């Protein structure tokens, strides 16, 4: 048992209890979402006390050195004093350049940040609706190719932030964004390996960035991109992806739909889930570098099947699009 000091109060933390559980179960207001170290909703900062290394996984070295931690992954090893982060130091202002529909419920949002953002294609960052309301969105842009930041945002019925993006944001509006984080990025050291990218819905966003990053860095190994959607109308960026496949013989684009239609036939989409198509096309994943993004159920199922199929767990990089908490 140890003691946590937060907002002028002391909280008892049980052995093996996370900092997040300790504070929330005793009534403290701490934002949270996935509770598994992905969404970073529960970011806090330690002012005193040792920070377990597990609590800083996925944070930039700069943030880790400043004592930031993820409360859902932090099992305190001794007394700690923690605060909620001062978002001012973590955010940057940006101007909306464009909001372009990509299909019936996904739009591309293009932003110009006031100061250059340090990021890699495939990472994600927080987009702030209000100071206490933000969501993670993946970057579809490539820093060496695009002179704007691009996101693909799916409208969630009743969704606070996605609804605001789709209904309210206009060119010229000012928004706040956080630092880019995440390890779903292209590794130029692995330029001869087979890349396998699987995404559903707006999960294409980071994959579109990673593919273009790899091709712009002369990746020589095969690159397979599977994009899954329930119906053909949910597929997007098909002309751009087909043009890339025509230009680069090592790039293969495989659109997949659950339900057959006139459009799916016209667009030569496979009528099966993206994961079933992957399993049908590849006998073994040994030596593959794998990227999985989008619906958490797809990401979890694919991770297991591809691991059992021979990929090393350290070669499977995944960003499940987990919902945030209420903030």
Give residues in contact with ligand FAD (CB under 6 A): 38-39, 124, 135-138, 151-154, 156, 158-163, 202, 205, 319, 321-324
**Smallest distance, Å, CB 135 to ligand FAD?**
4
Query: Tell me, what DSSP letter sits at residue 120?
Result: -
Q: Of ligand FES, ligand FAD, none, which one does residue 72 interact with (CB within 5 to 8 Å by kind)?
A: ligand FES
Q: Of ligand FAD, ligand FES, none, which one does residue 35 interact with (CB within 5 to 8 Å by kind)?
A: ligand FES
Of the pair 96, 322, the CB lying nearest ligand FAD is at: 322
Of the pair 120, 154, the CB lying nearest ligand FAD is at: 154
Q: Of ligand FAD, ligand FES, none, which one does residue 40 interact with (CB within 5 to 8 Å by kind)?
A: ligand FES
- DSSP three-state, residue 85: coil
Of the pair 30, 196, the CB lying nearest ligand FES is at: 30
Q: Which residue is nearest to ligand FAD (CB)?
A: 159
Of the pair 42, 136, the CB lying nearest ligand FAD is at: 136
**Smallest distance, Å, CB 283 to ligand FAD?**
31
Q: Of ligand FES, ligand FAD, none, which one does residue 204 interact with (CB within 5 to 8 Å by kind)?
A: none
Contact residues for ligand FES, defined by CB under 6 A: 32-35, 37-42, 70, 72
Of the pair 13, 257, the CB lying nearest ligand FES is at: 13
Q: Which two tokens stand for residue 118?
A: 């340090």
| Rounded Cα–Cα distance for residues 311 and 27 (Å) | 43
**List of E strands, the chain:** 2-6, 9-13, 43-48, 68-70, 80-83, 91-101, 106-113, 124-130, 133-138, 149-154, 174-178, 195-200, 223-229, 251-257, 270-271, 289-294, 316-320
**Smallest distance, Å, CB 89 to ligand FAD?**
21
DSSP 12-47: EE-TT--HHHHHHHTT-----SSSSSSS-TTEEEEE
Place of tokens 């999985």: 292
289-325 core/surface letters (b: 16 or more CB in 10 A; e: else): bbbbbbbbebbeebbeebeebebeeebbbbbbbbebe
């Amino acid at each position: 048992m140890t003691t946590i000091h937060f907002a002028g109060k002391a909280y008892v933390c049980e052995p093996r209890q996370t900092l997040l559980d300790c504070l929330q179960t005793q009534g403290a207001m701490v934002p949270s979402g996935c509770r598994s170290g992905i969404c970073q909703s529960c970011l806090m900062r330690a002012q005193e006390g040792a920070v377990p290394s597990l609590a800083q996984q996925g944070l930039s070295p700069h943030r880790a050195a400043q004592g930031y931690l993820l409360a859902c992954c932090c099992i305190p090893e001794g007394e700690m004093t923690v605060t909620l982060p001062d978002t001012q130091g973590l955010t940057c202002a940006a101007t909306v350049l464009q909001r372009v529909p990509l299909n019936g419920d996904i739009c591309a949002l293009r932003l110009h940040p006031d100061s250059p953002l340090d990021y890699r294609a495939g990472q994600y960052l927080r987009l702030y609706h209000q100071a206490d309301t933000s969501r993670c969105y993946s970057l579809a842009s490539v820093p060496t190719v695009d002179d704007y930041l691009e996101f693909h945002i799916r409208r969630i019925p009743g969704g606070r932030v996605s609804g605001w993006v789709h209904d309210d944001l206009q060119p010229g509006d000012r928004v706040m964004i956080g630092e880019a984080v995440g390890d779903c990025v292209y590794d130029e050291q692995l330029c001869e390996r087979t890349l396998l990218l699987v995404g559903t819905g707006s999960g294409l966003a980071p994959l579109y960035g990673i593919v273009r990053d790899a091709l712009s860095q002369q990746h020589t190994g095969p690159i397979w991109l599977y994009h899954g959607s329930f119906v053909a109308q949910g597929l997007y960026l098909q002309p751009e992806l087909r043009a890339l496949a025509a230009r680069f013989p090592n790039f293969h684009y495989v659109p997949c739909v659950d339900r057959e239609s006139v459009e799916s036939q016209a667009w030569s989409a496979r009528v099966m889930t993206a994961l079933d198509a992957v399993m049908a096309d590849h006998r073994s994943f040994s030596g593959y570098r794998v990227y999985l993004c989008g619906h958490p159920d797809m990401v979890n199922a694919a991770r297991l099947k591809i691991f059992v199929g021979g990929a090393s767990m350290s070669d499977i990089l995944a960003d499940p699009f987990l919902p945030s908490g209420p903030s």
